[in-house]
Structure 1
C-alpha cells in the first residue's frame, strides 16, 4: 500500500488563487499525455506517487485526455481507488468539458446538456464525489455564454464542483463570463491559458483582466511540449515527441525553427544555475496572476528536476532583458503543421 512521503510539504511552494481561499502547488501535474490507455498503469503510478511525494497537490484532467479519450480519467480513478483515497482531502483535482468526447451534437462544446453530462461521466470515470475545480475547456461560438456559465454554476450548487474555471477564453470573453459569475455568486476563481516563452498571448489583456478581477491562473504547455527543455539541444531523437505524427502542436518543423533560440535561452539558464526547463517554469511563475504551472511527465525524475525550479524563482533585470532580446529575434514560428 502506498504511503506518501512525510516530508512532502517541505519544499513545495503554495500560491493563493487570486483572492480566493484556495492555494495551489506552484507545480501541477497535467494528465494530457502519458496517462492514457496506451500507457502502462505501473508507470503512471510511479509518476503520480513521485508528484505527491514532492508536494504536488494539483492534478489536472479533462474528459478527452488519453488516448483513448476518457482513459486518463479512468486510470486516475484506478490510482485514486488503490493509492490516493486516504489523501483525497490533500488533493486539488480538476477536470474540464468542451472538446469532442462522444458522437452526436451533445458530446462537444459548451451547452448545458454537454457540460452537465460530461461532468457526470468524468465523476464516474474517476470515482470521485466531486471535482475541486471544473473548467469550461473552450468557449462555444454557437452557445450563449450565459448558458455555459449557468451550467458551471449548477455543478457547484449540485455539489459536483467546489470552484469553476475557464480555459482558452480570450480576455474579452473572460470578462463577460466573470460578470455573469459575479451576478450568480458562482465561485469562479481561475483561468487556464496556454503560456510559455514562445506563446505570450496571455500578456495581451488576459493577465490584466485576471488581476483586475482578482482571479488566478494555472498555465498549460509551460514547456512548449518539450521545446523548452534540453531534449532537443543535440538533435531530434527517433523516439522523441516531435517525431510522433500523432502528437499535436509539436513536430520536427517547430524544433528546427526554434533550435537556435532554445540554445541561446539554455545559455541564460546555465548562467542562472538552472536547467532550461527550470528557468522556463520560473519565468511563468514570475507573473503575479500565475498560481501554478502545469507540467507533464514520462518519468518520475522529470518531476524532481521541475520542482527544483522553485529554488530560484527570482529574475534580475539583466536576465529578463536577455530573455526578451532572444525572443524578439526569434522568427515567426509555423505551429500549424498538421
Structure 2
C-alpha cells in the first residue's frame, strides 16, 4: 500500500494564488500527455506518486485529456482511489471543459448544458466528490459570457468545485468574465495561459489584467512541449513529441527553427548550474502572477529533475538581459502550424 513520503513538504515552494487564501505548489503536474489509455499505467502511477512525494500538490486535468478523451481522468481516478484517497485534503485537483469531448452539439464549447454535463462526467471518471478548481478551457464565441460564467458559478454553489479558473482567454475576454463573476460573487482565482520563453504574448495582453484583478496564473506548456529542454539538441528521436503528428504546438520544423536559440539558452543554463528545463521553469516563476509552472512527464526521473528548478529561482540582471538578447535573435514562428 502506498504511503507518501514524510518529507514531501520539506523543499517544495507553495505560492499564494492572487489575493485568495489558496496556495499551489510552484511546480504542478499536467496530465495532458502520457496519462491516456495508450500509455503504460504502471508508469503513470509511478509519476503521480513521485510528484506527490516531492510535494507537488497541484494535478491538472481536462475532460478531453488522453488519448482517448476522458482516459486521463479515468486513469487518474484509479490512482486516486488506490493510492491518494487518504491524502485528498492535501491535493488540489483541477479539470476543465470547453474543447471537443463527445459527439453532437453539447459536447463542446461553453454553454450551460455543456459545462454542467462535462463537470458531472469528469467527477464520475475521477471518482471525486468535487474539484478544487474547475476551468472554462476556452472562450465560446457563440455563447454569451454571462451563460458560461453562470454555469461555472453554479458548479461552486452546488458543491462540485471550490474555485473557478479560466484558460486560453485573452486579456479583454478575461476582464469581461471577471466583471460578471464579481456580480455573482464567484470565487474565480486563476488563469491558465500558455506561457514560456518562446510564447510571451500574455506578458502584455493578459498578465496586467490578472495583476489588476489580483488573480494568479498557472502556466501550461512551460517547456514548450519539450523544446526548452536539451532533448532535441542531438536530433529528433522517433519516439519524441516532435515526430508525432498528433501532438499540437510542436513539429520537426519548429525544432529546426529554434535549434540555435535553444543551444544558446542551454549554454546559459549550464553557466547557472542548471539544466535548460530547470532554467525555463525558474524563468516562468519569476513572474509575480505565476503561482505554478506546469510540467509534463513521461517518466518519474523527469519530475525529480524539474522540481530541482526550485533550487535556483533567482536571476541576475545580466542573465535576464542575456536571455532577452538570445530571444531577440529568434525568427518569428507560427506556433499553431504543423
TM range (shorter): over 0.9
Aligned positions of 1:1-338 closer than 5 A? 1-338=1-338
Shift of 1:334: 3.1
The number of equivalent residue pairs is 338
Q: In structure 1, what is the Cα distance between the partners aligned to 2:129 and 2:280?
A: 35
Flag structure 1 segments of 5+ consecutive residues without an equivalent. none
**Structure 1 vs Structure 2 CA RMSD:** 0.6
Shift of 1:117: 0.2
Cα deviation digits, residues 216-244 of structure 1 (max 9, x gap): 00000000000000101111112211111
Secondary structure at 1:163's aligned position in 2? strand
Q: In structure 2, what is the Cα distance between the partners aligned to 1:251 and 1:184?
A: 42
Shift of 1:315: 0.6
Secondary structure at 2:45's aligned position in 1? helix
Cα deviation digits, residues 229-283 of structure 1 (max 9, x gap): 0101111112211111221211110000000000000011111111000000000
Shift of 1:201: 1.1
> Structure 1 stretch 236-245 or stretch 259-268: which is displaced more?
236-245
Q: In structure 1, what is the Cα distance between the partners aligned to 2:136 and 2:240?
A: 31
Shift of 1:151: 0.3
Secondary structure at 1:138's aligned position in 2? coil
Q: In structure 2, what is the Cα distance between the partners aligned to 1:172 and 1:163?
A: 21
Q: In structure 2, what is the Cα distance between the partners aligned to 1:186 and 1:111?
A: 17
The TM-score with structure 2 as length reference comes to 0.99
Q: In structure 2, what is the Cα distance between the partners aligned to 1:243 and 1:31?
A: 20
The TM-score with structure 1 as length reference comes to 0.99
